[in-house]
Amino acid sequence: MIGSIKILKKNKIMTTNIFKLAAVLLLLAGSFYSCAKKDCQCEDLPNCHLDENLTVYAWTESEKKYYFGGGNKIFLEIDPSRVVVRFDKRCFAEVQAFLQKNNQIQHIELGERYHYLVLTMKNPNMDIRALRKEFSKQTGVKSVNPMYLYIIEEHSICEDMVITDEINVQFKEDVSQQEIDKINHKYCIEIKEIGRRSHLLSVPVDLDPLEVANAYQISGLANYSLPNFIVNNYTF
């Protein structure tokens, strides 16, 4: 059992519209919510299908993970020892208690903002698929992902890239609403906000937001599709 939680500081969020995201969080904070255990399956949604071939779960994969930025692939490394859990702040106490009982976790660090926990695991290279399945049983857990690293060795740069459950997508002007609805249903997407130029979408806990963002980009329907990251900047 873990006795205390350390707080991480000096984090900033990378998003195409931080003000809209802040407004969404404020709206959620003011609404009633129950943290009691409940089940929500993909089958509850119309025309929903989870693509099992979409997500690369194993941390031992030789292929590097990446996202698209400016039309280019931005490659990321994976920290084999750390897992990031994003949670609904209304369920923090329940999520904290749930994780502190887990004997696979060595210690927990709490992000000062943006409602996430960084777990250092006792055994590295754990199967993220198994962790997602286990942790998603707890209501209030929004995403479970490895800690990604952005590394530029020649400049001695190494940044933690905390991926959230959210992606920003701008669909092409000639894409129909039917096409948008189809791909959203395919990946069980929750629409958080529709702006003038982009959609803020939430990815279900059992899928990898990085891979879902890439799937939207590769589909040809989007001008861009970017995961929302929380970045802890440091140079060594």
Q: What pLDDT digit, counting tens, does each position of 46-60 carry?
A: 333 444 444 333 333
- Start-to-end CA distance of the chain, whole Å, equals 32
Average pLDDT estimate for 225-229: 94
Lowest-confidence region among 131-135, 157-161, 171-175, 216-220: 157-161
Residue 11 has a pLDDT of 46
The structural domains of the chain, with segments of one domain joined by +, span: 5-29+48-232
Residue 152 has a pLDDT of 76
Cα distances (Å, whole numbers) of residue 115 to 13, 33, 68, 112, 118? 12, 16, 25, 7, 10
Is the pLDDT at 61 greater than 50, yes or no? Answer: no
Is the pLDDT at 236 greater than 50, yes or no? Answer: no
Top pLDDT among 231 and 10 is at: 231
Residue 156 has a pLDDT of 73
Average pLDDT estimate for 165-190: 95
Using pLDDT thresholds of 50, 70 and 90, give the confidence band for residue 231.
confident
Top pLDDT among 55 and 63 is at: 63
Top pLDDT among 35 and 138 is at: 138
Q: How far, in Å, CA of 217 to CA of 169, rounded?
A: 8
- Mean pLDDT (the chain) is 78
Residue 64 has a pLDDT of 77
